[in-house]
Amino acid sequence: MAMNTGAELPGPGTGPGGARDGDDERLGCGRLLSAVWEAREDGADDPHLRDCPHCSAAVRQLDLLGDAVRAAGGGRAPEWDAGALTERVMDVVRLELRPGPPLPLGEREEDLWVREAMAARALRAAAETVPGVRAGSCRIRPAESGAEPSRGPVRVRLEVVVPLMAGLRDLAEEVRRRVHGAADEALGLPVDHVDVHITDVTDRVGAEPDRAGAEEGTRP
C-alpha cells in the first residue's frame, strides 16, 4: 500500500521529491509521476525505470494497491480481459494526470496518508469486479469542509458504465458495496458515502458503450 507519514507528504514546492508540474507530481529523480505510470504500462525498456529508486517505488506502490484490491475481493477475477481493465485504468490516469491531495488512512489518531490518485485506482478496480461495469472518473474529497487535509472520513464520487439490464438500482448498490469494502478492507480509508453515477450503458456484459444512442442517468 502506498502510504506516507504526514511529515513526509510532498508539498507544493519545487524541491526534490516535492516539485509539481501543473497538477502532476515530479519525483525526486526529476521524472513526472504520470510519465512513470505510462512507461510502466507500455512496458518501456528503460534502464532508468529499473535502476531509479524513486521510479521503482512509484511502480511498486501501484502494484501493491492492485494486490490489495484483489485480496479484498477474495481473489475473484473479473469476468473480462484483465489487460483491458488495466488499459481502462491507465486511460483514466492519463486523463486526470495528478496524484491529488493526501487522504487519511486508519484511525483519527494515526498519521498515515495515501495520494488520491492511488486510492482512486484501487476503488475503480473494486467497482470493476462487478460483471460488466467499467469505472471512469473517481473523485475523493473530505466529507467535512475545510481547506487543509482532514483526518475525518471522505466522500467518493464514481462514474461508471454498466450493462443495460433490469435492476440498475441494485447494480449501482452492488458497485457501492464493493467500493466501500475496498476502501475499508484494502486501504483503511474511512468513507462517509459513495456516490455512484451511471453515465452510460452497454447492450451486454463486456460490450463497448454506444455513446450516440445510450441513455444517461445517475444514481446518487
Which alpha helices (H) appear in 128-209, and where do they start and end?
A: 168-181
pLDDT digits (tens, 9 = 90+) for 104-133: 665 565 556 667 777 888 899 999 999 999
Q: Report whether pLDDT(102) > 50.
A: yes
* Cα 215 to Cα 202: distance, rounded to the nearest angstrom: 10
Q: Are 195 and 140 in contact (CB under 8 A)?
A: no
Return the domain boundaries, the chain: 4-202
The pLDDT value recorded for residue 111 is 54
Cβ contacts of 30 within 8 Å, gap of 6 or more: none
Mean pLDDT on 18-23: 45
Q: Which residue has the higher pLDDT, 169 or 68?
A: 169
Mean pLDDT on 52-61: 81
pLDDT digits (tens, 9 = 90+) for 74-97: 555 444 444 554 555 455 444 444
Q: Report whether pLDDT(71) > 80.
A: no
* Cα 161 to Cα 89: distance, rounded to the nearest angstrom: 13
Q: Which residue has the higher pLDDT, 138 or 59?
A: 138
Cβ contacts of 205 within 8 Å, gap of 6 or more: 79, 80, 131, 132, 163
CATH superfamily assigned to domain 4-202: Cation efflux protein, cytoplasmic domain (3.30.70.1350)
Cβ contacts of 27 within 8 Å, gap of 6 or more: 17, 33, 36, 54, 55, 58
